[in-house]
Chains A and B, each alone.
Chain A
Amino acid sequence: MANSLYGPLDPAPDAGYVDAPPRMGFFTDTSVCIGCKACEVACKEWNAVPDDGFDLLGQSYDNTGGLSANTWRHVAFIEQPAPSETVFLGMPGADKPDFRWLMMSNVCKHCTHAGCLDVCPTGALFRTEFGTVVVQEDVCNGCGYCVAACPYGVIDRREGDGRAWKCTMCYDRMGDGLTPACAQACPTESIQYGELDLLRETAAERVEKLHAEGVGSARLYGHDERDGVGGDGAFFLLLDEPEVYGLPPDPVVTTKDLPDMWKRAGIAALTMAASVAVAFLGRRR
């Protein structure tokens, strides 16, 4: 049963926009990602995001670690001895597994039902007319509720600054008809930007094509409006289980059960009140 907190929904009209433009989104096709990190750099340059420190993490070629207040596009690298689609070619006398190196540019999902947005007490986080989720840094009071509410671990507070920061899907470029910086920079069109409906169609065709070519492990993630967040505004094509990429397999918006919780709280309160009433009214004195 769909309501404003859960289930299939078009978020911009639901948020109150009249004649909202088509919902915009990202389709990140990891099957053509070359791990160049142009997306990380382009994002930081456009949005003047501070660097994240010079730390060799040694997570393959990932020295960024993950999405944070200072990283709004993050490229993950997974080195994977895995059975390939073709014949396994062993080599006599030495250990040489067939090898796969998965690469993915991760980003804020701009969920249909965005936990961060739902819990923000100041209204700093808001839904744009394009269906994306943006945090206004001049309103944010740094309470951090949004950090706990995100099922993907995207949004975070910036050290030394205190406020919450995350991907805006380049709202300031969108409004002028431009492409977000990461999609603009991506050389292989791994990051595609456009109307979400059309992207979902493209993505479905892409998966079919890959399956026909023998890449049976290709699947979409975050494309389904019936999932726990109502589908993502930024969804992906993956070549393995989401957990392999560090993504939650079944993300659910934390506010999904709010109506239920309020109902139960309401029932509990009434029951309490009723019990108190009975306790007083039933007194003999």
Chain B
Amino acid sequence: MAEAHPVGFQWVVEAKNRGAKVIHVDPRFTRTSALAHTYVPVRAGADIAFLGGVVNYILANEKDFREYVLAYTNASTIVSEDFRDTEDLDGLFSGYDPETNTYSSDSWAYEGMDQHHEPHPETAEPMRHESHGAPVPKDAPKDPTLQHPRCVYQILKRHYARYTPEVVERLCGVPKERFLEVCEAWTANSGRERTTALVYSVGWTQHSVGVQYIRTGAIIQLLLGNMGRPGGGVLALRGHASIQGSTDIPTLFNLLPGYLPMPHHEKHETYRQWIDAIRHPGQKGFWSNAESYAVSLLKAYFGDAATEENDWGFDWLPRLTGDHGTYRQALDMIDGKIKGYFLLGQNPAVGSAHGRAQRLGMANLDWLVVRDLYLIESATFWKGGPEAATGEIVPERCRTEVFFLPAASHAEKEGTFTQTQRMLQWREKAVDPPGDARSDLWFFYHLGKRIRERLADSTLPRDQGIKNLTWEYGEDEPDAEAVLQEINGYDLATGKPLSAFTEMRPDGTTSGGCWIYTGVFQDGVNQAARRKPGREQSWVAPEWGWAWPANRRTLYNRASADPEGNPWSERKRYVWWDAAKGEWTGEDVPDFEKTKPPSYRPADDATGVAAIAGDDAFIMQGDGKGWLFVPSGLIDGPMPTHYEPAESPIRNPLYGQQANPTRTVYDREDNPTNPSPPERHSEVFPYVFSTSRLTEHHTAGGMSRQLAYLSELQPEMFVEVSPALAAERGLTHLGWAHIVTARAAIEAKVLITDRLVPLRIEGRTIHQLWLPYHWGSEGLVTGDSANDLVGITLDPNVLIQESKVGTCDIQPGRRPIGKALLAYVEEYRRRAGLVPGHHPPIVTSEDADG
């Protein structure tokens, strides 16, 4: 956190000054570790085993916060008798189909659950559900004594029983005593009187089991009663400024604003099918009002053209046909299926996994528009990138026409940033952008205007959507506040801004570009622009910026009070029921219907919001509870399980199933995977590598390696190795080395450091090495790109790449150049058995038919 969020880290330092204990778990000792009380070295890719060990510690020693677990989680819910665990099936769950490498989750259901699922979900299916919770019955059978062998609590206990401290030591390389120190500190600091916060970032998400990493952390925080409570929770640090905003108002292919799913051409043929898929008639929760959010969005898009008769313009929305993820796109470009590309503030030539595939893909386009502050590598790859050097791309013959349009920087335009804690902060424009540089808002507005002019006479059905958009934002620079107001939404009858998403209607009388943002312009005031200093308001500081939804700062804060509505302790009071006034009150906006008492129990036939009981703290879930066990909605399993990364030198010691059996693999010759046990030749790439960031640079370097003051702080691409690894391979400090995987060989200067230690894993010494990923071929300082080493293997739920762990070789000296480089890497592939016709095995378990 200190490396990537130095300004945010001041709050960790402040907490430390007030007595908080800081524990840092990471494959290497970083600037964060330097300020932590305890540093725990862990093998990259083994975190589920580590966290599973913590779950086991909690359950075996009965350290869970029992009243919280019983009241607010699905611990007591009974699961179908058809369910089989990884313990029974050598690393697989029941319902696996080796033909499609997917699960049917029917057998994971709660007992008595009626399955509406199609059996074999395709990738990213859960993204269509996001936080809705896929269909679950609101009243599945439960055992509040937690003794029933098929209740979630007992299933969890059995599942994590093998994750003992000894296993954690052997698998993760964490000394037993240090592991237990973490368990003891975490559990001792949780409960009624104290809470512990879990903070993570992309070191957890960028794995083929990334979603399950987060899930394990969430399980621990639910068991310990830390969710929805002050000083607790799970804080997901994100990787870019406003990237939270870029999923809220999404740049993701499968989402519409506010996490409404993008309609799918088969599954959502009609408007009604689409709406019902989101709101799951019969379930609890606030997604039951999805039609209000959806209609309001369509009214914001299409204005008066959206009517009840035309289903509010539903047919003008694009449709998904499958995987349109960014990696699929890059490979489709190579295959000639994509002709044109807009690239805005993104640099896949350096920043995305498998740099070579990215660049070869872009080299096969008809046209490419790049908008950025500088000529980044993704604009100049055709003449200055590695493939130009090897001759794979000949600049004079590259077919891609590249248009570079200069972009305004953040100080040269106004608008909001939405950061990790869901807070929107409005920023003023400080100066005009230079020359022809323009904001993204200006660009898209005027692009849209010109396209609409061209289509003015079109009668084609596919053009009607664009023609019917409300698209009037002025003559030159669009008014960003007007856009934010449109996002906030209006009561169309009165023209007044909406104050809350609960005011949205499904009858076309309200509009709103993003229901979770409704309230940001409450009373016509730009709430995101507020900057009341912390010392002038309460400790929750609700008058600085505006957080979605409803300026609620901690989500699920109903859980900060017990089932009767009283705070768990005076010390940790946050939100509580005021019986005299008949309403929820407290330090924050209650995440619960204001006047619904804790004693409320729904009628048997109640659905939606009315079905939420007075003790259903997790109001977005279909059963109102926090999920320790996920009966549906995830592609790779109801409980996190340790799988080795797709590339690993270690045979999974826990199960026959080596790696995630549902991981997304693009098995093609240009995307080879290093061999891992039980495959042969894994010793060709014997070392584990990880990538991450330096404080001094920013992502792919476009905003830092062009500046002298930052470039001089970290002027060269380097690789960190332990003294032992340096001795093993003959590397010298500040000498050259090159790192090789099946995809590429890159060179870097060597930094020998004690901050990396060899780990003892399964009786062997495993060396890890580390690379910053900031370097590319453009800028004041240039160098090879770490992401050229990484292949494309993705988490199946969300399609994120596994770029935090892989295997490699490292050798002293510079890499070959030109054609010799291609031959060099080809030789490694040959030695590793990665020849045409070779396919990485997905299923390595004995029980694939189970």
Contacts of B712 in A (CB 8 A): 51-55, 63-64
Contact of A189 among B6, B10, B32 (CB under 8 A): B10
**What string of 1s and 0s marks CB contacts (under 8 Å) between B739-777 and chain A?**
000000000010101110111100001000000000000
A103-B759 in contact (CB<8A): no
**What string of 1s and 0s marks CB contacts (under 8 Å) between A35-53 and chain B?**
1111011001100000111
A38-B6 in contact (CB<8A): yes
Contact of A101 among B7, B749, B755 (CB under 8 A): B755
A63-B175 in contact (CB<8A): no
Chain A's nearest CB lies how many Å from the CB of B660? Answer: 29
Interface size on A, residues (CB 8 A): 41
Query: What residue in chain B is nearest A31 (Cβ atoms)?
Result: B35
A79-B753 in contact (CB<8A): yes
Contacts of B821 in A (CB 8 A): none
A188-B10 in contact (CB<8A): yes
Range of interface residues on chain B? 35 or more
B6-A63 in contact (CB<8A): no
Contact status of A35 and B695, CB under 8 A, knowing A41-B710, A99-B754: yes
Query: What residue in chain B is nearest A97 (Cβ atoms)?
Result: B754
B1-39 at interface with A (beta carbon < 8 Å): 2, 6-7, 9-10, 13, 17, 29, 31-35, 37-39
Q: Give the complex CA separation of A103 and B712 in angstroms.
A: 18
Q: Give the complex CA separation of A262 and B547 in angstroms.
A: 71
Q: Give the complex CA separation of A154 and B459 in angstroms.
A: 75
Contacts of A60 in B (CB 8 A): 753
Q: Check A91 for interface membership: any CB of B closer than 8 A.
A: yes
Chain A's nearest CB lies how many Å from the CB of B712? Answer: 5
B760-A92 in contact (CB<8A): yes
A45-B713 in contact (CB<8A): no
Instruction: List B residues at the A interface (Cβ < 8 Å).
Output: 2, 6-7, 9-10, 13, 17, 29, 31-35, 37-39, 41, 175, 177-178, 694-696, 708-716, 718, 724, 733-734, 749, 751, 753-755, 757-760, 765, 780-781
Q: Give the complex CA separation of A163 and B757 in angstroms.
A: 46
Instruction: List A residues at the B interface (Cβ < 8 Å).
Output: 32, 34-38, 40-41, 44-45, 51-56, 58, 60-61, 63-64, 79, 81, 86, 89-97, 99-103, 187-189
Contacts of B758 in A (CB 8 A): 94-95
A-B contact pairs, 27 of them (CB 8 A): A32-B35, A34-B13, A34-B32, A35-B2, A37-B695, A38-B6, A51-B709, A53-B712, A54-B711, A54-B715, A54-B716, A54-B781, A55-B712, A56-B718, A58-B718, A58-B751, A60-B753, A64-B712, A64-B713, A81-B754, A89-B178, A94-B759, A94-B760, A95-B757, A99-B29, A102-B34, A103-B34
Q: Give the complex CA separation of A60 and B724 in angstroms.
A: 17
B10-A79 in contact (CB<8A): no
B753-A56 in contact (CB<8A): no
Q: Give the complex CA separation of A17 and B535 in angstroms.
A: 37
A101-B9 in contact (CB<8A): no
B754-A35 in contact (CB<8A): no
B31-A101 in contact (CB<8A): yes
B31-A40 in contact (CB<8A): no
Q: Give the complex CA separation of A100 and B41 in angstroms.
A: 14
B755-A99 in contact (CB<8A): yes
B31-A35 in contact (CB<8A): yes
Q: Give the complex CA separation of A91 and B168 in angstroms.
A: 13
Can you list the 9 inter-chain pairs with the closest CB atoms, starting with the nearest? A54-B715, A101-B34, A36-B6, A51-B708, A56-B716, A34-B2, A187-B7, A187-B10, A58-B734
Contacts of A79 in B (CB 8 A): 753-755
A93-B760 in contact (CB<8A): yes
B714-A63 in contact (CB<8A): yes
Contacts of B38 in A (CB 8 A): 86
Q: Give the complex CA separation of A181 and B710 in angstroms.
A: 16
Contacts of A86 in B (CB 8 A): 37-38
B709-A44 in contact (CB<8A): yes
A58-B175 in contact (CB<8A): no
Contacts of B37 in A (CB 8 A): 86
Q: Give the complex CA separation of A126 and B6 in angstroms.
A: 36
Contact status of A95 and B724, CB under 8 A, knowing A60-B753, A63-B712, A79-B755: yes
Contact status of A89 and B177, CB under 8 A, knowing A40-B713, A97-B754: yes
Chain B's nearest CB lies how many Å from the CB of A163? Answer: 21
Q: Give the complex CA separation of A35 and B494 in angstroms.
A: 55
Contacts of A53 in B (CB 8 A): 712
Contacts of B780 in A (CB 8 A): 54
Chain A's nearest CB lies how many Å from the CB of B779? Answer: 10
B35-A34 in contact (CB<8A): yes
Q: Give the complex CA separation of A188 and B715 in angstroms.
A: 25
Chain A's nearest CB lies how many Å from the CB of B753? Answer: 6
Chain A's nearest CB lies how many Å from the CB of B427? Answer: 19
Contacts of A102 in B (CB 8 A): 34
Q: Give the complex CA separation of A32 and B41 in angstroms.
A: 22
Contacts of A94 in B (CB 8 A): 757-760, 765
Query: What residue in chain B is nearest A52 (Cβ atoms)?
Result: B712
Contacts of A55 in B (CB 8 A): 712, 715
Contact status of A91 and B760, CB under 8 A, knowing A58-B751, A187-B10: yes
Chain A's nearest CB lies how many Å from the CB of B727? Answer: 12
A37-B696 in contact (CB<8A): yes
Chain A's nearest CB lies how many Å from the CB of B693? Answer: 12
Chain A's nearest CB lies how many Å from the CB of B844? Answer: 28
Contact of B709 among A41, A89, A187 (CB under 8 A): A41
Q: Give the complex CA separation of A44 and B707 in angstroms.
A: 12
Q: Give the complex CA separation of A38 and B709 in angstroms.
A: 10
**B708, B759, B781 pick with most chain A CB within 10 angstroms:** B708
Q: Give the complex CA separation of A36 and B3 in angstroms.
A: 7
Query: What residue in chain B is nearest A32 (Cβ atoms)?
Result: B13
Query: What residue in chain B is nearest A214 (Cβ atoms)?
Result: B37
Contacts of B32 in A (CB 8 A): 34
Chain A's nearest CB lies how many Å from the CB of B451? Answer: 41
B757-A96 in contact (CB<8A): yes
Query: What residue in chain B is nearest A58 (Cβ atoms)?
Result: B734
Q: Give the complex CA separation of A141 and B226 in angstroms.
A: 65
Contact status of A101 and B781, CB under 8 A, knowing A38-B6, A56-B716, A56-B734: no
A34-B34 in contact (CB<8A): yes
Q: Give the complex CA separation of A96 and B42 in angstroms.
A: 13
Contacts of B175 in A (CB 8 A): 89-92
A36-B31 in contact (CB<8A): yes
Q: Give the complex CA separation of A40 and B6 in angstroms.
A: 14
Contacts of B733 in A (CB 8 A): 58
Contacts of A96 in B (CB 8 A): 41, 757
Chain A's nearest CB lies how many Å from the CB of B733? Answer: 6
Contacts of B696 in A (CB 8 A): 37
Chain A's nearest CB lies how many Å from the CB of B129? Answer: 38
Q: Give the complex CA separation of A234 and B755 in angstroms.
A: 31
Q: Give the complex CA separation of A52 and B714 in angstroms.
A: 12
Q: Give the complex CA separation of A12 and B694 in angstroms.
A: 42
**B2, B34, B38, B751 pick with most chain A CB within 10 angstroms:** B34
Q: Give the complex CA separation of A53 and B715 in angstroms.
A: 9
Chain B's nearest CB lies how many Å from the CB of A70? Answer: 9
Q: Give the complex CA separation of A269 and B765 in angstroms.
A: 75
A63-B713 in contact (CB<8A): yes
A187-B31 in contact (CB<8A): no
Contacts of B749 in A (CB 8 A): 56, 58
Q: Give the complex CA separation of A56 and B749 in angstroms.
A: 9
